[in-house]
Amino acid sequence: MAAKLVVARLAGPRLFPLRLLPFSTAAVAADPAPIPHNSSAADDPDPVTVKGVKISGRPLYLDMQATTPVDPRVLDAMLPFYLSRYGNPHSRTHLYGWESEAAVEAARAQVAAAINASPKEVFFTSGATESNNISVKGVMHFYRDKKRHVVTTQTEHKCVLDSCRHLQQEGFEVTYLPVGKDGILDLDRLADSIRPDTGLVSVMAVNNEIGVVQPIEEIGRICLEKGVFFHTDAAQALGKIPIDVDKVNISLMSLSGHKIYGPKGVGALYLRRRPRVRVEPQMNGGGQERGIRSGTVPTPLVVGMGAACELSMREMEYDGRRIAALQERLLNGIRAKLDGVVVNGSVERRYAGNLNLSFAYVEGESLLMGLKEVAVSSGSACTSASLEPSYVLRALGVEEDMAHTSIRFGIGRFTTEAEIDRAVELTVKQVKKLREMSPLYEMVKEGIDIKNIQWAQH
Amino acid sequence: MASAVGSAPSRAEVLSLFRSLLRTAAKFPDYNIREYTKRRTVDGFRQNRELSDPVAVAAAFAGGKSQLEIARRQAVVYSIYAPKAKSVMEIKAS
């Protein structure tokens, strides 16, 4: 009923939201407050002020590794389960439960199809972080009698590293393998570090900060030869590069919903059945998800994740081509106008949608503060609470000053060429402005080598 | 639409679907979704232009129609919840 009213009112050319609808209060309350009447006439109609920063509109979004917008087709699949089909999938006695369970199983099949697994091997969790926790701690706790060693890399996601640290406190041993300057793991070092009591090798497929793609096929082969479980955090890889759990010999895999244009709060864990991988559950309770993860399965979120997986399989080629072209446009656009731009991580073995750049002789915080109209990130969201430069860049051997000025541009399905051009323009302008003001840059232009200066003591 | 399930659509029907999709795309208040819907429609129809097998053509047409329904519903939802501030891409650079 209300929908018909809305459609009738929207029949005119104006697309502005109706301010009369009562049920939009929550959304309105969540909006940042518009400026009151004492703003100058020169301002745009609805300037946005958050944290003392005034911008004319919502920034253009180039932070796809932090999260992605929900695709309208995914939202369309999810909404019925918030409106009328709200049953608990574990209710066995009525239609609400049956239809909800059917939807969950259909979504499970969609996720399984995306990774070439059987639906029986897919378990829904609250996200890739939970899946990583179950993989690392769950596997090692289950096999604690025979296996006491874990091999991982220094560039893993914080949740994997923190779980490993937790295991170390319990008495397990962990080897954190270093990576090369390009961010890629050395396969010989990996093979050497695997011991007879190694229970798990955990290497992420695509890094969230620098976008490099690890050679998971070779790593899977090494793990198969040595008879060790191979876990990969594929949160950033799903739907972007083809993943086949059988071709790559993956034993465990973590997947995330909100990195593939799905909802936040849902993820999945792949556990191989042949040979069977057993884990000790981290969430105890009623035995849902075959005892691996107790708790009511959130039907709308899971349906969203399934729809997002199916969509990403259909669109992977189209999106991949576009995003690669956009990345080239971004990099060439910036390099054409600026020197001293360094790409962090391998240029060849990288996912196109993640471009991590360091700008020499520019300070990172001031660069970010000047890029208010572009939503980008420096370092990853997980480490941005501290002022320390990102541990991933440190593992690459990037110097402190370059690590501080790194910006991560995330390109996605909905990014337009106009946005890339605007981002190039704003970045170049801001970097040039900062370099104008920088005495260090003046010295470099005169030919002085900064590293060999003897600074006088005052 | 007079075409039954499985029979190939006429040229007029295909064009009508194309125009409906573009018209619905224009209704999205979100800059990125709007541009994506327009672009995906154009690229999708261009890609399928050479299809000759009537079964494939009918399947593509049916797929397009279901996408149109989804787009229509979501254009309404996005309009109801559109934020007050527009994207900086839609505001003329001062």
Considering only CB atoms, A48 lies closest to which of B35, B37, B85, namely B85
- Contact assessment for residue A155 and residue A207, using Cβ atoms and an 8 Å cutoff: yes
Does residue B57 lie within any of the structural domains? Answer: yes
As a whole number, mean pLDDT of residues A183-205 equals: 96
A76 in B contact zone (CB under 8 Å): yes
Does residue B92 lie within any of the structural domains? Answer: no
Examine the domain organization and report whether A220 and A235 are in the same domain.
yes
Examine the domain organization and report whether A343 and A252 are in the same domain.
no
Examine the domain organization and report whether A94 and A237 are in the same domain.
yes
Amino acid present at A178? P
Contact (CB<8Å) B43/A318: yes
Residue A74 CA to its chain's centroid (Å): 18
Residue B29, min C-alpha distance to chain A (Å): 6
Give the separation between CA B15 and CA B22, rounded to whole angstroms: 11
* pLDDT score of A55: 82
Beta bridge partners of A125: A267
Examine the domain organization and report whether A115 and A240 are in the same domain.
yes
Domain-ending residue, one of A285, A311, A337: A311
Does residue B56 lie within any of the structural domains? Answer: yes
Question: Residue B16's domain spans which residues?
Answer: 11-82
* pLDDT score of A404: 85
Which whole-number Å values give the CA distances from A263 to A88, A201, A234, A285, A298, in the listed order?
Answer: 19, 29, 17, 25, 11
Contact (CB<8Å) A10/B32: no
Label residue B92 by pLDDT band (50, 70, 90).
low
Does residue A78 lie within any of the structural domains? Answer: yes
Residue B68 CA to its chain's centroid (Å): 5
Q: What is the largest CA-CA distance in chain B?
A: 53
Does residue A344 lie within any of the structural domains? Answer: yes
What's the N-to-C CA distance of chain A in angstroms?
Answer: 77
- Residue in chain B closest to A42 (alpha carbons) equals B94
- Return the minimum-mean-pLDDT range out of A5-14, A167-176, B2-11, B77-86: A5-14
Examine the domain organization and report whether A306 and A323 are in the same domain.
no
Structure tokens that stand for A40 in this block: 């100058």
Does residue B73 lie within any of the structural domains? Answer: yes
Examine the domain organization and report whether A340 and A325 are in the same domain.
yes
Q: Does pLDDT of B23 surpass 90?
A: yes
Beta bridge partners of A230: A201
Q: Does pLDDT of A342 surpass 90?
A: yes
Contact (CB<8Å) A59/B67: no
Q: Positive or negative, the Cα torsion across A109, A114, A117, A121?
A: negative
Domain-ending residue, one of A311, A339, A357: A311
Amino acid present at A190? L
Label residue A18 by pLDDT band (50, 70, 90).
very low
Name the domain count of chain B: 1
Question: Residue A158's domain spans which residues?
Answer: 72-311
Does residue A180 lie within any of the structural domains? Answer: yes
pLDDT in tens, A26-62: 544 455 544 444 444 444 455 777 777 788 889 999 9
Examine the domain organization and report whether A298 and A344 are in the same domain.
no
Partners of A27 on chain B (C-beta within 8 Å) are 81, 83
Domain-ending residue, one of A311, A334, A361: A311
Calculate the CA dihedral of residues A83, A89, A90, A92 and round it to 10 degrees: 90
Residues above pLDDT 90, as percent of chain A: 74
Does residue A61 lie within any of the structural domains? Answer: no
* pLDDT score of A233: 97
ipTM over 0.95: no
**Strand A267-271 relative to strand A252-256, pairing:** antiparallel
Examine the domain organization and report whether A320 and A335 are in the same domain.
yes
Examine the domain organization and report whether A219 and A101 are in the same domain.
yes
Partners of A7 on chain B (C-beta within 8 Å) are 76
Does residue B31 lie within any of the structural domains? Answer: yes
Give B20-28's long-range contacts (Cβ < 8 A, gap of 24+): B20/B68, B21/B64, B21/B67, B21/B68, B21/B71, B24/B68, B24/B71, B24/B72, B24/B75, B25/B71, B27/A10, B27/A15, B27/B75, B27/B79, B28/A72, B28/B74, B28/B75, B28/B78, B28/B79
Model pTM score: 0.87
Does residue B67 lie within any of the structural domains? Answer: yes
Q: What is the tally of helices (H) and strands (E) in chain B?
A: 3, 0
Does residue B89 lie within any of the structural domains? Answer: no
* pLDDT score of A46: 55
Structure tokens that stand for A266 in this block: 């849902």
Considering only CB atoms, A17 lies closest to which of B36, B70, B79, namely B79
Q: Does pLDDT of B20 surpass 60?
A: yes
Within 8 A by CB and 6+ apart from A20, the residues are: none
Instruction: Give the DSSP H/E element, type plus range, for residue A408.
Output: strand A406-410
Examine the domain organization and report whether A323 and A439 are in the same domain.
yes
Which CATH number characterizes residue A398's domain?
3.90.1150.10
Give the separation between CA B27 and CA B76, rounded to whole angstroms: 8
* pLDDT score of A269: 97
Give the separation between CA A225 and CA A218, rounded to whole angstroms: 11
A399 in B contact zone (CB under 8 Å): no
pLDDT in tens, A246-280: 999 999 999 999 999 999 999 999 999 999 999 99
Buried b (16+ CB within 10 A) or exposed e, A103-115: bbebbbbbbbbbb
User: What's A15's DSSP letter?
Assistant: -
Instruction: Report A:292-351 residues touching B (Cβ under 8 A).
Output: 318
* pLDDT score of A385: 57
Of A56, A59, A19, the residue nearest A35 (C-alpha): A56
As a whole number, mean pLDDT of residues B56-79 equals: 96
Examine the domain organization and report whether A84 and A160 are in the same domain.
yes
Using DSSP, state whether B31 is helix, strand or coil: helix
Does residue A62 lie within any of the structural domains? Answer: no
Using DSSP, state whether A377 is helix, strand or coil: strand
Q: How many CA atoms lie within 13 A of A316 on its CB side?
A: 16
Does residue A332 lie within any of the structural domains? Answer: yes
* pLDDT score of A199: 95
Which CATH number characterizes residue A211's domain?
3.40.640.10
As a whole number, mean pLDDT of residues A377-406 equals: 77
**Strand A267-271 relative to strand A122-125, pairing:** antiparallel
Does residue B43 lie within any of the structural domains? Answer: yes
Considering only CB atoms, B89 lies closest to which of A3, A32, A419, namely A419
With residues binned 3-state (H G I as helix, E B as strand, rest as coil), the percentages for chain B, rounded to 5, are 65, 0, 30
Examine the domain organization and report whether A259 and A353 are in the same domain.
no
Name the domain count of chain A: 2
pLDDT greater at residue A21 or residue A62: A62
Residue B52, min C-alpha distance to chain A (Å): 21
- Contact assessment for residue A134 and residue A166, using Cβ atoms and an 8 Å cutoff: no
Using DSSP, state whether A357 is helix, strand or coil: strand
Structure tokens that stand for A217 in this block: 């096929």
pLDDT in tens, A54-98: 888 899 999 999 999 999 999 999 999 999 999 999 999 999 999
* pLDDT score of A208: 93
As a whole number, mean pLDDT of residues A123-135 equals: 96
Reduced 3-state DSSP string for A184-221: CECHHHHHHHCCCCEEEEECCCECCCCCEECCHHHHHH
Give the separation between CA B64 and CA A62, rounded to whole angstroms: 29
Give the separation between CA A205 and CA A211, rounded to whole angstroms: 9
Does residue A233 lie within any of the structural domains? Answer: yes
Structure tokens that stand for B15 in this block: 């064009």
Does residue A327 lie within any of the structural domains? Answer: yes
Q: Does pLDDT of A458 surpass 90?
A: no
